[in-house]
């Protein structure tokens, strides 16, 4: 055991190792008896490939580079593929990121396009494909741009011919619904195939604010009758809908303050837990009905477990294993993509994606007949001695108004090093994105990159985060830039007051909405000595009046309040009541002159959610104030960095910032040049 100053501990977890393990498996499904999923490839340009697990247990990347299985619907995407077995061979349809066309792939062949390109705006985009072999179609959500602006867009349910006849002909796509609703999810078919159910919502609501559950009859020719709203509304969020084996509706609603599971109007397991979450991507699944009548569920409070719910008793049996977090993706073997097709042998298998503080996300299978669970894909492999992994603490702090503030604390940890006595370590507060999201308690080598060198990390699930009920989410209503900033500061100062962290060596970092919180914290408080701001929101008026995508284009009406009329954006602004000064008052750009501490600003040049203009405007306002800073813009990166070389530079630059400000000496790290 060596005694070395915090921040100078040698670590085997370098930036390249952390970058290679960035991302997680997503969108699990079954193709026959085989489990399939998408998986990141940071070292292959950040693409996502489709992986299958063969009967012998081997894993195979189905599509070689440059195929990238990823949708851009609402920019965040969603379920990008579906598959089945035809004549003993897999038949798969998927969305390719580069052109957003839907493709058909059959084993042994090359992918063939099913949908056309469009030169209008953002083009044609597809998500949540569902195969309807009897009709010779694949049903999807279609997002179609009607002009060049980010809000010139319509979304409908649509049917695409599987024979490729629509590959060059937009008119060959059959629209199943009109565009009366701004947003829709993919339709789920009842067991008898006669009804379809889906979710819809409209501006200015986000899906975690209020959604409607729609049901329509399905004709023999596949046409949908007029949809009717069954449940939901402006103040009730329905997160997911499906059908039980007996034909009754299953859905997750937060009408009781928590996202709980309902069958028709009956709560199946009323608990102060979440059986759903924020619908940031289309096709997320927190429950999946089994043919037996049982329901596989992902549920929890602040963390999630995988279990099987008995709707008749309300009892849940959770999967045994080390996992403390399951992602909102589920698949059940034998789900019927074609009505009337009996489930294959082994229909009791449930697949999801789980992780823990000692293991990254991996594909997990639960056999509901035996109760046994096991890893079947993307298995965690300790790339370094796990003694270097951080040992997190689940903590609850008190905010300035007396509210609970949830956080995960990762103290510095290195099996070969200790710091001199009576010297508290530096800490970095991590503010998650969303802001309606949360930080899961899982192994993250980007966190271990810092903790193994002697820098603590505090992930704060500030007021507004999901996972703790609707009331906790609603704490951020019209308080963005206030509650999130105050809660992060409360955690940082509490750690300093108790001697866990060095009051003089506190930093904050965050990306997207977390970048907003980081920037707002640096311009409105004196808590932090420096900060890292990643693809942020910095100017509310610009972001809310045409500088972002359609999905979040009116999100600020909930987070901040009705914006002041400016004539710059949508005509709806002129009719809204002004919130005096709030948009400018909270924007970091408006107060760039208050920023006095060093910072690092990181931005993707292809980002359409938080565009580079936000950073450029902020830096222009800062000009002449001689604040040490660095701005790094990455070509080919969008919202959420994907490429290994980008991720490496981000981590090394961030560590160098802290080293210079905190007086640390991490070995082997390139120096970040700070301009004034």
Which residues are 604's β-sheet partners?
Answer: 634
β-strands 629-634, 417-418 pairing: unpaired
Q: d(Cα 409, Cα 542) in Å, to the nearest integer?
A: 35
Residue 336 has pLDDT above 70, yes or no: no
Task: Report the distance separating Cα 604 and Cα 520, nearest Å.
Answer: 20
Provide the H-helix boundaries in 85-162: none
The closest alpha carbon to 410, from 460, 468, 457, belongs to: 457
Q: C-alpha dihedral over 458, 459, 463, 466, to 10 degrees?
A: -160
Q: Residue 676 — pLDDT band, cuts 50, 70, 90?
A: confident
Which domains does the chain show, CATH number per domain?
2-14+384-539+587-662 (3.40.50.1820), 25-283 (2.120.10.30)
CA–CA gap between residue 196 and residue 241 (Å, rounded): 10
Q: What is the pLDDT of residues 656-668, one digit of tens each?
A: 999 999 999 999 9
pLDDT of residue 191: 95
Contact call for residues 120 and 149 (beta carbons, < 8 A): no
* pLDDT category of residue 527 using cuts at 50, 70 and 90: very high
| Count of all residues that appear for the chain in the document | 676
Question: Going by DSSP bridges, is the β-strand pair 188-189/183-184 parallel, antiparallel, or unpaired?
Answer: unpaired
Q: What digits encode the pLDDT tens for the residues 110-144? A: 999 999 999 999 999 999 999 999 999 999 999 99
What's residue 550's pLDDT?
A: 97
Q: What whole-number distance in Å separates Cα of residue 592 and Cα of residue 601?
A: 13
Task: Indicate the range of 337-341, 349-353, 417-421 predicted with least confidence.
Answer: 337-341
What are the Cα distances from residue 255, in Å, to 231, 260, 422, 447?
10, 8, 50, 36
Task: Give dist(CA 661, CA 312) in Å, integer.
Answer: 59
For residues 640 and 22, give the distance between their C-alpha atoms in angstroms, rounded to a whole number: 11
- Report how far residue 183's alpha carbon sits from residue 516's, in angstroms, rounded to the nearest whole number: 26
Closest CA to 37 of 440, 376, 441, 442: 376
Question: How many Cα atoms are found within 13 Å in the side-chain-facing hemisphere of 43?
Answer: 7
The pLDDT > 70 percentage for the chain reads 95
pLDDT category, 571, cuts 50, 70, 90? very low
pLDDT recorded at residue 581: 82
How many other C-beta atoms lie within 10 A of the C-beta of residue 606? Answer: 13
Contact at 8 Å (CB) between 84 and 91?
A: yes
CB 555 within 8 A of CB 564: no
Q: Give the CA distances from residue 594 to residues 334, 618, 624, 625, in Å, rounded to whole numbers and listed in that order.
A: 59, 12, 12, 9
Element (H, E) at 645: helix 644-662
CB 463 within 8 A of CB 405: yes
Mean pLDDT of 150-162: 97
Query: 164's torsion region: left (phi>0), alpha (psi -120 to 50) or beta?
Result: left
- DSSP class of 442: S
Q: Is the pLDDT of residue 541 over 80?
A: yes
List pLDDT tens digits, range 437-462. 999 999 999 999 999 999 999 999 99
pLDDT at 570 over 60: no
Q: Is the pLDDT of residue 573 over 50?
A: no
Please tell me the distance from the alpha carbon of residue 138 to that of residue 184, in angstroms, as a whole number. Answer: 17
Q: What's the confidence (pLDDT) of residue 347? A: 55
**Is the pLDDT assigned to residue 559 strictly greater than 90?**
yes
Identify the pLDDT of residue 267: 97
User: In DSSP terms, which residues pair with 433 in a beta bridge?
Assistant: none
Q: What is the mean pLDDT of residues 330-355?
A: 70
């Amino acid at each position: 055991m060596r005694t070395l100053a915090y921040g100078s501990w040698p670590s085997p977890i370098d930036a390249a190792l952390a970058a290679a393990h960035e991302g997680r498996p997503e969108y699990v499904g079954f193709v026959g008896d085989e489990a399939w999923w998408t998986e990141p490839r940071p070292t292959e340009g950040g693409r996502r490939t489709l992986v299958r697990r063969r009967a012998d247990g081997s894993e195979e990347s189905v599509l070689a580079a440059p195929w990238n299985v990823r949708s851009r619907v609402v920019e965040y995407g969603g379920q990008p593929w579906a598959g089945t077995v035809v004549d003993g061979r897999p038949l798969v349809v998927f969305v390719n990121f580069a052109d957003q066309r839907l493709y058909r792939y059959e084993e042994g062949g090359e992918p063939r396009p099913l949908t056309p390109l469009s030169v209008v705006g953002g083009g044609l985009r597809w998500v949540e494909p569902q195969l309807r072999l009897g009709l010779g179609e694949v049903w999807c959500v279609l997002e179609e741009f009607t002009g060049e602006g980010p809000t010139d867009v319509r979304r409908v349910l649509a049917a695409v011919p599987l024979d490729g006849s629509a590959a060059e002909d937009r008119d060959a796509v059959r629209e199943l619904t009109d565009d009366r609703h701004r947003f829709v999810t993919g339709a789920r078919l009842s067991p008898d195939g006669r009804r379809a159910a889906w979710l819809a919502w409209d501006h200015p609501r986000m899906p975690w604010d209020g959604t409607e559950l729609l049901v329509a009859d399905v004709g023999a020719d596949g046409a949908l009758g007029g949809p009717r709203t069954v449940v939901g509304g402006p103040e009730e969020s329905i997160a997911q809908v499906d059908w039980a084996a007996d034909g009754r509706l299953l859905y997750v609603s937060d009408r009781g303050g928590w996202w709980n599971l309902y069958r028709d109007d009956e709560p199946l397991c009323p608990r102060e837990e979440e059986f759903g979450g924020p619908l940031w991507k289309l096709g997320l699944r927190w429950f999946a009905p089994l043919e037996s009548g049982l329901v596989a569920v992902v549920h929890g409070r602040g963390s999630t477990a995988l279990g099987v719910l008995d709707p008749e008793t309300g009892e849940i049996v959770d999967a045994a294993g080390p996992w403390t977090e399951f992602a909102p993706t589920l698949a059940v073997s034998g789900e019927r993509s074609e009505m009337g097709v009996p489930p294959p042998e082994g229909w009791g298998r449930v697949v999801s994606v789980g992780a823990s503080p000692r293991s990254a996300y991996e594909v997990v299978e639960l056999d509901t007949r035996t109760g046994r669970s096991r890893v079947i894909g993307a298995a965690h492999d300790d790339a370094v001695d796990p003694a270097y992994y951080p040992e997190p603490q689940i903590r609850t702090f008190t905010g300035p108004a007396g509210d609970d503030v949830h956080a995960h604390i990762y103290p510095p940890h290195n099996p070969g090093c200790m710091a001199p006595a009576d010297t508290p370590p530096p800490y970095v507060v991590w503010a998650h994105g969303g802001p309606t999201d949360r930080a899961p308690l899982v192994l993250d080598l980007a966190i271990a990159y810092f903790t193994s060198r002697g820098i603590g990390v505090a992930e704060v699930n500030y007021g507004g985060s999901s996972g703790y009920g609707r009331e906790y989410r609603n704490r951020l209503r019209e308080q963005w830039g206030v509650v999130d900033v105050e809660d992060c500061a409360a955690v940082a100062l509490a750690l300093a007051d108790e001697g866990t962290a060095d009051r003089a060596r506190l930093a904050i970092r965050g990306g997207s909405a977390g970048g907003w919180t980081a920037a707002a914290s640096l311009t409105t408080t004196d808590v932090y000595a420096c900060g890292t701001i990643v693809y942020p929101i910095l100017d509310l008026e610009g972001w809310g009046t045409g500088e972002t995508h359609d999905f979040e284009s009116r999100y600020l009406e909930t987070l901040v309040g009705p914006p002041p009329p400016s004539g710059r954006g949508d005509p709806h602004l002129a009719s809204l009541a002004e919130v005096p000064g709030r948009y400018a008052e909270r924007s970091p750009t408006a107060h760039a002159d208050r920023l006095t501490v060093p910072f690092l600003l990181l931005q993707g040049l292809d980002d359409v959610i938080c565009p580079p203009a936000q950073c450029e405007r902020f830096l222009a306002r800062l000009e002449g104030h001689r604040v040490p800073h660095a701005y790094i813009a990455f070509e080919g990166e969008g919202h959420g960095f994907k490429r290994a070389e980008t991720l490496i530079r981000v981590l090394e630059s961030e560590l160098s910032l802290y080293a210079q400000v905190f007086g640390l000496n991490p070995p082997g790290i390139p120096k970040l040049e700070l301009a004034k």
